[in-house]
Amino acid sequence: MGVPQLLDKHLDKHFDTHGNWQGMSLGWVSIVWLSYILSKADHCLSHVQPWVEKRLETLSICTGLSMRALDYSDDRLQAVLRYLSKDTAWQKFEQELGGQL
């Protein structure tokens, strides 16, 4: 479905991220976080970083990206929620995602 790439594309257009955002992109942070939620049936922000830390090698191999557990800190995840809560931007992302299905 290309969700991380699509989120990143819309990030540049519609989601105004903080200028100091470094490390994993918004799209990939969202996908790994979603993987955590689905595997643990838990949406608590504070549990994601330790989960990622224990699976860094597996996640890096699966995504083909170099990862740091710090990319999944609770304040980084809170920022993801803030960016993705903008209705207009979300609707534009969702329209393009739906058009690819």
Contacts 24+ apart (CB under 8 A), 55-59: 59/32, 59/35
Domains contained in the chain, number: 1
**92: Cβ–Cβ under 8 A, 6 or more apart, which residues?**
10, 13, 14
Predicted confidence (pLDDT) per residue in 71-87, tens digit: 999 988 988 888 888 88
* Alpha-helical runs (H) found in the chain: 3-13, 26-40, 48-54, 56-63, 74-84, 87-100
What tens digit of pLDDT does each residue of 63-73 get? 999 999 999 99
> In terms of pTM, does the model score above 0.95?
no
Domain span at 35: 3-16+24-100
